């Protein structure tokens, strides 16, 4: 699954958006604000935090970190995304729309 990310201090910073549960297995799932459950990749990390990512042709191993203070971590991730993608793309609505911050420490 392609995701936007930022890198800082040996970690990759991602975000997940909650989504509705699919009505049936053949239905496409649309990510949208206010939905009720996290995407599958996020839920998989909750069960087993070990993961692999491919970035610019490099296969990277990592471990998702349990985040105690989600609002503070989300603020840090937003700062990193603004540096990388620009303030126009990363608006303040990220803070209030149920985004889930994800920090993966690289091995």
Instruction: Give the pLDDT score at 105.
Output: 95
Please state the pTM of the whole predicted model.
Answer: 0.71
Q: Is residue 96 in some structural domain?
A: yes
Domain carrying residue 75? 6-106
1 assigned to some structural domain: no
* CA 14 vs CA 22, 26, 35, 74: distances in Å: 23, 27, 18, 9
The DSSP bridge partners found for residue 50 are: 63
What burial class does residue 20 get, using C-beta atoms within 10 Å of its C-beta: 0-12 exposed, 13-18 middle, 19+ buried? middle
- Each residue of 58-106: pLDDT tens digit? 899 999 987 888 778 888 888 898 898 888 777 765 666 667 788 999 9
Q: What confidence score (pLDDT) does residue 34 get?
A: 46
Structural domain tally of the chain?
1
Burial of 63 (0-12, 13-18, 19+ CB in 10 A): middle
């Amino acid at each position: 699954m392609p995701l936007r990310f930022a890198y800082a201090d040996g970690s990759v910073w991602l975000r997940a958006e909650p989504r509705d549960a699919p009505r049936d297995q053949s239905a496409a799932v649309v990510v949208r604000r206010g939905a009720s459950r996290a995407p599958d990749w996020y839920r998989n990390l909750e069960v087993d935090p070990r993961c692999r990512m491919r970035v610019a042709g490099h296969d990277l191993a990592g471990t998702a970190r349990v985040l105690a203070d989600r609002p503070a971590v989300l603020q840090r991730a937003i700062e990193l995304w603004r540096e990388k993608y620009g303030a126009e793309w990363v608006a303040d609505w990220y803070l209030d729309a149920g985004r889930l911050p994800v920090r993966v420490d690289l091995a």
